């Protein structure tokens, strides 16, 4: 007696083949596409801006904290870009005749915001959250490089999926004490392995499942 119609076997074979093909395609997508020069094209290239705002001057020389302009990074998903009022809190008194600041003064007078060009721009299908990282020991420098030394900002890391996962699979190799989040030029101690384990407990990070697809694709 035949339990399945003869056609079913062929259907099963085709679906196994199709399944294998999809797997190969997905793996190819993730591991080949992810490393292509295209996805890294932005890394390392300074982005032109409507005003020559220099992090090197404001952060390193003037020692203004990142928080002065990007405070929401501590708590919220977006770090945010400061508005014209934030600039004018100083520049209504400092360098008032500077030509470089002309667009800032115009924006202040007209109320039209300055339109900054994005340096980082994750794909729409990726969920990211600053606050979670800042509160769990990941320094700004770990993801953005030496912003404090950049006249114009560029993307220092590839921001590919493989790059995110390198840390999500082993956060203990990268996390820092809470008072080093805003440190630039941080040197991890030689016993990072020991410190890392300690910090996992302190921040109550459970690396189990941090690489699951739904964490970043929701
Ligand atoms: C006085 C205000 C100010 C301070 C202080 C400041 N920033 Fe910025 N930041 C800006 C402005 C304005 C932009 C948008 C223009 C640009 O990209 O240069 C920006 C852009 C950025 C970007 C790129 C955003 C994008 O488009 O993807 C990063 C990353 C960044 N800042 C990190 C930092 C870090 C880290 C610090 C501390 C070392 C810091 N900033 C301090 C004003 C500030
Ligand atoms: C906490 C104070 C402070 C804030 C906030 C601030 N700046 Fe400045 N900025 C300074 C100081 C101080 C200088 C150096 C002035 C000088 O050299 O005479 C400067 C210099 C500059 C210069 C160079 C001016 C020149 O002619 O050389 C630009 C451009 C500039 N700032 C843009 C901005 C923008 C855009 C913002 C807002 C995103 C901003 N600044 C926010 C303090 C500040
Ligand atoms: C775990 C990595 C990571 C850390 C840590 C991190 N950032 Fe970011 N940052 C990103 C990514 C990824 C983006 C792009 C987000 C997007 O395109 O949606 C970004 C974007 C930004 C932007 C552009 C505006 C925005 O909110 O998208 C600014 C400004 C910024 N970061 C500043 C900071 C500052 C300041 C710190 C430290 C307090 C920091 N970042 C820590 C990964 C990080
Ligand atoms: C240097 C380490 C590091 C890097 C790089 C990193 N992450 Fe994370 N990520 C963490 C840690 C640590 C946590 C917190 C885990 C916890 O709370 O248990 C986290 C948590 C998250 C969460 C969970 C947020 C929530 O709501 O619970 C998301 C989403 C996330 N990361 C996305 C990303 C993406 C997307 C990238 C790449 C653009 C990235 N991360 C890069 C270390 C990192
Ligand atoms: C830690 C965060 C994170 C996790 C976890 C994660 N992804 Fe991604 N994924 C990303 C980022 C970031 C990109 C965007 C890469 C880019 O633009 O180069 C991405 C892109 C993709 C893409 C589009 C291909 C591409 O290169 O843009 C696919 C498909 C994908 N992920 C599938 C998965 C699957 C399946 C899993 C679970 C095994 C997973 N992701 C887990 C962060 C993550």
Check: pTM over 0.85? Answer yes or no.
yes
Q: Say what the pLDDT of residue 25 is.
A: 46
Q: How far is the CA of 176 from the centre of ligand 5 (A)?
A: 25
Q: Say what the pLDDT of residue 32 is.
A: 47
* 3-class state of residue 163 by DSSP: helix
CA distances from 151 to 59, 96, 107 (A): 10, 20, 22
Asked if 199 and 175 count as a contact pair (C-beta separation under 8 A), the reply is yes
Ligand 5 test: best mutation among 129, 217, 218, most atoms within 8 Å of CB?
A: 217
Distance in angstroms (rounded) separating the CA atoms of residues 18 and 45: 41
80 contacts: CB under 8 Å, gap ≥ 6: 70, 71, 72, 73
Could you tell me the mean pLDDT of each successive run of 10 residues in the chain, 218 residues long?
54 55 50 46 82 97 98 96 97 97 97 96 96 98 98 96 97 98 97 97 96 96
Q: Say what the pLDDT of residue 18 is.
A: 57
Closest ligand 3 atom number to CA of residue 66: 35
Q: Say what the pLDDT of residue 89 is.
A: 97
Q: Which residues have any ligand 3 atom within 6 Å of their CB?
A: 66, 70, 73, 78-81, 120-122, 128, 130, 133-134, 138, 140, 142-144, 159
- Nearest alpha carbon, ligand 3 atom 37: 140
Q: Say what the pLDDT of residue 61 is.
A: 98
Backbone angles phi, psi at 43, to 5 degrees: -60, 130
């Amino acid at each position: 007696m035949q339990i399945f119609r003869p056609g079913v076997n062929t259907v099963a074979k085709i679906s196994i083949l199709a399944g294998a093909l999809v797997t190969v395609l997905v793996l190819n997508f993730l591991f080949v596409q992810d490393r292509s020069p295209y996805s890294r094209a932005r890394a390392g290239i300074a982005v032109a801006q409507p005003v020559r705002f220099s992090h090197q001057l404001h952060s390193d020389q003037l020692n203004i904290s990142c928080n002065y302009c990007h405070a929401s990074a501590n708590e919220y998903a977006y770090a945010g870009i400061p508005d014209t009022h934030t600039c004018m809190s100083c520049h209504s008194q400092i360098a008032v005749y500077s030509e470089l600041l002309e667009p800032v003064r115009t924006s202040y007078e007209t109320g039209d915001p300055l339109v900054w060009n994005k340096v980082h721009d994750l794909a729409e299908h990726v969920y990211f959250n600053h606050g979670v990282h800042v509160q769990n020991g990941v320094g700004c420098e770990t993801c953005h490089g030496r912003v404090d030394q950049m006249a114009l900002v560029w993307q220092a890391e590839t921001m590919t999926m493989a790059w995110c996962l390198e840390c999500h699979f082993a956060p203990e190799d990268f996390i820092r004490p809470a008072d080093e989040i805003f440190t630039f030029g941080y040197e991890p101690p030689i016993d990072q392995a020991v410190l890392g384990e300690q910090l996992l407990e302190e921040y109550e990070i459970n690396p189990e499942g941090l690489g699951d697809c739904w964490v970043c694709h929701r």
